[in-house]
Structure 1
């Protein structure tokens, strides 16, 4: 599968572009048909890329500064729109560059959620 096409489809999905409009966009890129199996393959590739990012080694440390915050996002779960907390940690490495250290979805922004987040990231 083309990495560019996977990126386009993922971006459209995240922006809430309808399936019909996405099909027209993909056709304008020269793809005549996008099957369900192709979309499934793209989703699998995206899942693998996200997991690789989330579990990558943090070898640019030590981090002179670390910030942690949450962003509440609306998502569709079982046909309902609900708010989920996206926990995000960023750090400044020894060279002075900011880096995303970790991202996770949690049902709440509480002590237990953050403790689990950092334990998973440091394991």
Structure 2
């Protein structure tokens, strides 16, 4: 399950890389993502992303917003930052051990997987 979520995060990052500044989701100082409906519609209309890619990206960003701030920040740095940041750099910047980082990441991946399954169930109900 974690590998699937990791793959979804990678796809989400690739989708976000395709967007230009005006379609990009806004990220607040506390690493919450805000992607307005008109930005999504614009991305689809311009053919930048398919409707399915937009829905998937939206679901991932919504799920990320539900994680605790430290986990959101770690996820952003590790998965969405333009230059890939190593676990060592994250551990240094956050004064956390590698083991703690991997535990937090594992828990966050599990929670993200749960949230995404929940989002999917809600979408079909």
Same fold, TM-score > 0.5, yes or no: no
Q: If the length of structure 1 is used for normalisation, what is the TM-score? A: 0.34
Give TM-score, length-normalised by structure 2: 0.33
Higher normalized contact order (CA 8 Å, seq sep 6+, divided by chain length): 2
In terms of fraction of residues, the more helix-rich structure is 2
Q: Which has the larger radius of gyration?
A: 1
Instruction: Give the structure with the higher percent strand.
Output: 1
